[in-house]
């Protein structure tokens, strides 16, 4: 895992990169949407397979086991199945959000390793033009002059390589999680990597100003950078004065150099797998926790719902399967999908965790994602198929979700609008990303709950015409109908966008914004194209199915109806069909009414 791995123009790289080689020759590549462009929420979502609204974590200052539930983590699940689990570097976000222990002893078989030189992260070691040292964003260094004569990620590399050497010959399976810090700010890296990125080859994006139609609540003023000595010396007015192009190129050059530095370390680590005999039986996953803007939209940080901030690379190498894979997938993928994917690939006896119910606070093991194995199998099959048209595409998500909090509608230092604490959050920007569109609603937020009746601002981007998300179409009347559909999908939530495969005798939960009434013994037809479902209102069912028994598992579901009752949620049963697609155009009955969301009861 690396930090802040945003977009990188591979054509500007003049040296061989092991990660690019990994993409070209030994792995398949996906672009993953993370849940929130901030370290702790992103990492905890990945490692628990739960979303920020479930974890109640939008900042750095709460531990999910204390405030949300005693949730089983990805490494914990592997540990429970006999794996030796080890954490090196930044895996969980350190501090309160991982109980000051990286979730030890739950997740790890031995105490996590942290490099001793990480404490010098903010030290004044960056060279200025006048010969002084500062705390800069641009910070190429000579390693032998650094405290301890090393850097944190070099220490983490050596610790990980030592672990692999010690595991040589062991028959116990292992899960090794290595968290490299760079290219997280400050951009401190060995100076030698600058040679791969001559300054005259570094280009800034064509559009690098704040879009005129962008709501101020959606924009971040990159407060992280403003705290650095070199940026402060530019004397920029807060919040909108841009960084001058000449210095922007220096920042981007250092970002590229920091990525190349980490790429080199990843290459050394994968070589150690070969040396220690682990490469033929080890799944390798390379992923980041969030992206980073480099002048896109006039921003120089994460802290937003833009693709450049929420998209991260996802490179997967599976021995004996992905060799020769040079493919990139455009499927919609989220960080919460990683947990179930690795479990299925490793074939753990406990199997892939079940999908979480609406309220999962008391459910220790479940997932709010789905396994990517069907996509992986499809990519591998396509790679080996002469006529790729013969390879069927699996049903997949119709949308993925991200969110970001704000204390108010205007960028501020205090409270920090880039990194607001929970007590200061008053607005939440919820984003839906489909294959073509990006849609966001900024809504009032209080007490860990969104108030969808108070929409403060909207954003709509058409990626077919505007992949950079520079033109907000939300105020254009010709897109009102499209926005209505996207708004309904956004508010229905992530379950509504899951693959719509339903087995025979599957239960469906229908939630409605307003009540409908049901009378004992009566059926309300709920119809979709080609399929019909009926409300299960206290009617007898073939064993082992019982509406009452199944409904007891969901709070608020009433299935045995003795009198006229007012319901916000009802349980339906599909039968005599092998598949049903719901959430499409409804033909009649309850499904035609506005405000109905549908999802399978797992």
Is 463 a residue of the active site?
A: no
**Contact predicate 274/26, CB 8 Å:** no
Cα dihedral: 383, 387, 389, 391 (round 10):
-50
Residue 563 CB partners (closer than 8 Å, separation 6+): 519, 520
Cα dihedral: 72, 77, 80, 85 (round 10):
-110
Report phi then psi at 37, rounded to 5: -80, 60
**Contact predicate 437/462, CB 8 Å:** yes
Q: How far is CA 506 from the centre of its chain?
A: 29
Collapsing DSSP states into helix, strand and coil, what is residue 333?
strand
Tell me the C-alpha to C-alpha distance, in Å, between residue 99 and each of 61, 67, 424.
Answer: 10, 12, 22
Share of the chain residues as helix, strand and coil, in percent rounded to the nearest 5? 30, 20, 50
DSSP character at residue 548 = H
Tell me the C-alpha to C-alpha distance, in Å, between residue 387 and each of 190, 327, 376.
Answer: 47, 15, 18
Tokens describing residue 163: 């672990």
**Contact predicate 353/340, CB 8 Å:** yes
Rounded to an integer, what distance in angstroms lies between the CA atom of residue 573 and that of residue 173? 42
Quick one: which of 318, 322, 298 has its CA closest to 308?
Answer: 298
**Contact predicate 384/327, CB 8 Å:** no
Is 5 a residue of the active site?
A: no
Quick one: which of 429, 424, 399, 403 has its CA closest to 412?
Answer: 424
Tell me the C-alpha to C-alpha distance, in Å, between residue 461 and each of 433, 438, 472, 490.
Answer: 10, 5, 6, 15
**Contact predicate 324/358, CB 8 Å:** no
DSSP character at residue 24 = I
User: Which of 28, 39, 356, 547 is labelled catalytic?
Assistant: 39
DSSP character at residue 342 = H
**Contact predicate 226/37, CB 8 Å:** no
Alpha-carbon Rg for the chain, nearest whole angstrom, is 25
User: Which of 93, 181, 184, 197 is labelled catalytic?
Assistant: 93
Q: Which positions are catalytic?
A: 39, 93
């Amino acid at each position: 895992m690396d930090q802040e791995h945003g977009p990188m123009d591979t054509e500007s790289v003049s040296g061989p990169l092991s990660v690019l080689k990994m993409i070209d020759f030994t792995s398949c590549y996906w672009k993953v949407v993370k849940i929130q462009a901030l370290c702790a929420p992103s990492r905890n979502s990945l490692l628990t397979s739960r979303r920020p609204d479930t974890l109640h974590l939008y900042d750095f200052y709460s531990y999910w086991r204390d405030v949300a539930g005693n949730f089983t983590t990805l490494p914990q699940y592997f540990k429970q199945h006999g794996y030796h689990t080890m954490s090196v570097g930044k895996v969980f976000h350190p501090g309160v959000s991982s109980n000051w222990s990286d979730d030890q002893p739950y997740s790890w078989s031995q105490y996590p390793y942290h490099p001793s030189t990480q404490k010098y992260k903010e030290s004044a070691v960056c060279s200025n033009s006048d010969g002084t040292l500062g705390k800069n964003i641009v910070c190429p260094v000579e390693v032998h002059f650094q405290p301890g004569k090393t850097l944190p990620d070099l220490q983490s590399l050596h610790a990980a390589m030592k672990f692999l050497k010690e595991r040589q010959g062991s028959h116990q399976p292992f899960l090794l999680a290595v968290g490299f810090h760079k290219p997280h700010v400050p951009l401190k890296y060995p100076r030698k990597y600058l040679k791969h990125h001559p300054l005259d080859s570094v280009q800034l994006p064509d559009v690098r100003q704040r879009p005129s139609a962008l709501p101020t609540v959606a924009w971040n003023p990159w407060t992280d950078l403003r705290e650095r000595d070199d940026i402060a010396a530019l004397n920029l007015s807060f919040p909108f004065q841009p960084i001058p192009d000449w210095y922007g190129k220096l920042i981007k050059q250092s970002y590229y150099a920091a990525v190349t530095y980490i790429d080199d370390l990843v290459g050394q680590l994968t070589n150690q797998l070969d040396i220690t005999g682990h490469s033929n039986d080890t799944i390798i996953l390379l992923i980041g926790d969030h992206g980073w803007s480099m002048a896109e939209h006039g921003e120089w940080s994460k802290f937003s719902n833009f693709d450049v901030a929420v998209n991260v690379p996802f490179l997967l190498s599976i021995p004996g399967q992905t060799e020769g894979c040079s493919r990139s997938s455009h499927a919609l993928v989220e960080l919460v999908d990683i947990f179930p994917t690795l479990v299925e690939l490793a074939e753990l006896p406990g199997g892939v965790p079940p999908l979480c119910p609406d309220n999962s606070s008391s459910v220790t093991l479940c997932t709010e994602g789905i396994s990517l194995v069907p996509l992986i199998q499809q990519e591998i099959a396509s790679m080996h198929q002469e006529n790729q048209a013969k390879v069927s595409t699996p049903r997949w998500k119709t949308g993925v979700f991200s969110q970001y909090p704000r204390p108010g509608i205007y960028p501020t230092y205090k409270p920090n609008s880039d990194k607001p604490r929970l007590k200061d959050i008053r607005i939440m920007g919820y984003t839906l990303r489909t294959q073509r569109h990006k849609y966001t609603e900024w809504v009032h937020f209080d007490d860990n709950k969104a108030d969808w009746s108070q929409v403060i601002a909207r954003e709509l981007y058409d990626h077919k015409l505007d992949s950079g998300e520079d033109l907000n179409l939300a105020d254009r009347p010709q897109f009102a109908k499209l926005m209505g559909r996207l708004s309904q999908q956004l508010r229905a939530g992530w379950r509504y966008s899951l693959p719509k495969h339903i087995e025979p005798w599957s239960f469906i939960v229908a939630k409605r914004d307003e009540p409908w009434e049901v009378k004992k013994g009566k059926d309300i037809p709920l119809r979709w194209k080609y399929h019909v479902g009926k409300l299960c209102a206290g009617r007898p069912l073939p064993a082992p199915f019982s509406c009452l028994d199944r409904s007891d598992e969901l709070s608020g579901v009433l299935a045995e109806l003795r009198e006229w009752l007012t319901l916000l949620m009802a349980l339906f049963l599909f039968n005599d069909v092998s598949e049903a697609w719901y959430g499409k155009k409804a033909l009649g009955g309850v499904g035609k009414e506005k405000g109905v969301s549908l999802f399978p009861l797992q």
